[in-house]
Amino acid sequence: MIPVDKGGGIAKAQGSYKNRDTPCSFLCLPKPMMAMSFLPSFHLFLVFVVSSIIYITYRCKFFTSRHPGCTFAPGPRGWPIIGNLLDLPTQRPWIVFRDWARTYGDIMYVRAYRKPIIILSSAEVVTDLMEKRSLIYAGRPVSVMDNLTGKYFHQYFNGGVVPDYHIKQAKQIHKFLRRCLDTSGKQLDPSHVRLTLASTIMDIVYGLQIESMEDDYIRVVVESIELGSDSKVVGKYWIDYMPFLRYVPGWIPGTASVRLGARCRPVVEEMVNRAYDAVKKGTVTRSSMALDLITRLSEEPDPERRKAEERHAKHVTAVAYAAGSDTTYSTIQTFFCNLATYPDIQKKAQEELDLVVGPDRLPTFDDYDSLPFVQAIFLECIRWLPVAPLGIPHSTTEDDYYNGYFIPADTTVLVNVWHILRNPVDYPEPEKFNPDRFMKDGALNRDVRDPLTFAFGFGRRACPGKDFARDTAFLLFASILHAFKIMPSLDEYGNELDPTPHMSASTLCYPELLHYMLKPRSKAMEKLVRDTAL
């Protein structure tokens, strides 16, 4: 009940409007109208929920009758109607799923409302399903947009094309080294790493010269990635499993996903259009992926087909930033925190670099095959902390059976990549950061399970940007190790700070709050960094 102050207050505020039946806000809404606007909506919502419960109960019985005697994989027992919706963890779910696997096995079944989910927790099961039966497990689902976007990604980021970007990658890495000289002896700002990756990918994709993370082009992309990453946290938003919630008013408790969607749309739209339109209008004219696409599309005679293809081109260029920048950032932060912790690993890599590269130049991509231990460091970074601990969700395109378990069509498939890459059988002492696990007789040991086969996706859905990410990380690792010592940073009293990081808990996982600094290995190396320019 809203009090009315006859001497002013709300009554006076309402009196200032000519038409009192048209409120200016919730507070100045007359009581009768308030009841009329709120209660019917709430009652309709309750009717909607009750109807949905009745409907889903019927559907569950119908589903069971269609598949009599079918056995699902084991998993935690769920609740009536909502299944395991309340069991799905939203903070570091890969750890919870690891604990579940110890009880229920390498393939688990849960149900979130009507949505069946299976969680795979061993390399053998993943290989059997995601690789050998990739046609069934490659869904997300597949659409025309997915196919065209995938086509463009493969065209511009496949292993045969990536060497075309080496000059731009090396240029930005050399800029990063010079920025590190300017902050020598101080804790390195993680934004230096982000700027290096952002400027590299924005140069390749749009021909943009980015000099600061405050750049408007970067600001909108970073905001979009943050919102998108939050929306992908498994189990956090019930709308993923109860699509009817998209029609529920945003003021209803539990509908945060509706509000998140409202925030995401304008940001994502700006990210998709802004840089692409700058290239199309001729504001940016340097050679780039977007310019090549725009030139090719201008030759399409069919206006409708050209319009549709341009939508796909805009999306693939926008997504390229996240694929080529944000994910690599995680691997580089993992590199810094562990190399600061293990100086013996750093020393061994530097001995290899001194022997192969020498004191008169910086490493290049041509040194790749001659630096197996630097490669091993990259592999161990990927294994120790995969960028996407649960991979990217897949879905089944048809019913399937595996080891006596029934897996219905349209089942969401999650792979606990983090748990698989910490299997002590494949990787003894998995908690320890140890690149030597990938070495044998001075070369890479091909008998050790390759973490890249799990960290970058599976089958037809494997990440097309993995070669680009590997090359960027390799040259950055080699260049930093050749020119600098990585050390724990110091507090105000000169004591070393613990470089052990705090881990983020979103869809993408990376070390946060790192305490490390870089110092040149020698005066000669400092001069080499300053004098080397592309």
Q: Which residues contact 312 (CB under 8 A, 6 or more apart)?
A: 145, 148, 149, 152
Q: Are residues 254 and 304 located together in one domain of the fold?
A: yes
The reply to whether 3 falls in a domain is: no
pLDDT digits (tens, 9 = 90+) for 322-375: 666 667 888 999 999 999 999 999 999 999 999 999 999 999 999 999 999 999
> Vertex 51, ends 47 and 52: CA angle to 5°?
120
Q: How far is CA 53 from CA 40, 77, 143, 238, in A?
A: 20, 19, 30, 15
Host domain of residue 315: 93-531
**Would the pTM of this model clear 0.75, i.e. be above it?**
yes
Percent of the residues in the chain that have a pLDDT greater than 70, as a whole number: 73
Residue 121 · residue 73 · CB < 8 Å: no
Tokens 């490390």, located at residue = 516
Residue 29 in this model has a pLDDT that exceeds 90: no
Q: Are residues 53 and 107 located together in one domain of the fold?
A: no
The reply to whether 457 falls in a domain is: yes
- Please tell me what DSSP assigns to residue 450: P
CA dihedral 441, 442, 443, 444 (to 10 degrees): 80
- pLDDT bracket for residue 219 (50, 70, 90): confident
Spatial CA neighbour of 262 closest among 276, 242, 248: 248
Cα 195–chain centre separation: 17
Mean pLDDT of the region 181-195: 84
Per-residue pLDDT at 407:
94
Tokens 């269609």, located at residue = 66
pLDDT digits (tens, 9 = 90+) for 123-173: 999 999 998 998 898 876 444 444 445 566 777 887 888 899 999 999 999
Residue 212 in this model has a pLDDT that exceeds 80: yes
Mean pLDDT of the region 452-473: 83
Q: Are residues 525 and 476 located together in one domain of the fold?
A: yes
Q: What are phi and psi of 506, to 5 degrees?
A: -95, -165
Of the given ranges (174-178, 289-293, 465-469, 530-534), which has the lowest mean pLDDT?
Answer: 530-534
Domain CATH code at residue 208? 1.10.630.10
Calpha distance 200→467 (Å, rounded): 15
Q: Are residues 147 and 290 located together in one domain of the fold?
A: yes
Per-residue pLDDT at 506:
63
The reply to whether 462 falls in a domain is: yes
What is the maximum span of the chain, computed from C-alpha positions, in angstroms?
Answer: 91
Calpha distance 383→5 (Å, rounded): 67
Residue 488 · residue 497 · CB < 8 Å: yes
Per-residue pLDDT at 143:
42
Residue 310 in this model has a pLDDT that exceeds 80: yes
Per-residue pLDDT at 138:
80
Spatial CA neighbour of 502 closest among 346, 334, 388, 327: 334
Q: How many CB atoms lie within 10 A of CB 236?
A: 20
Cα 168–chain centre separation: 24
Q: Are residues 424 and 466 located together in one domain of the fold?
A: yes
Q: Are residues 236 and 354 located together in one domain of the fold?
A: yes
Q: Are residues 54 and 203 located together in one domain of the fold?
A: no
Spatial CA neighbour of 23 closest among 38, 45, 40: 38
Per-residue pLDDT at 518:
93
Number of structural domains the chain divides into: 2
H or E element, residue 385: none
What's the mean pLDDT when you consider all of the chain? 79
Q: Are residues 142 and 43 located together in one domain of the fold?
A: no
Spatial CA neighbour of 341 closest among 94, 511, 522: 511
Calpha distance 385→531 (Å, rounded): 35
The reply to whether 487 falls in a domain is: yes
The 8 Å CB, 24+ separation contacts for 276-281 are 276/206, 276/313, 276/314, 276/317, 276/318, 278/206, 278/208, 279/206, 279/207
The reply to whether 451 falls in a domain is: yes
Per-residue pLDDT at 13:
36
Q: Which residues pair with 486 in a beta bridge?
A: 518
The reply to whether 2 falls in a domain is: no
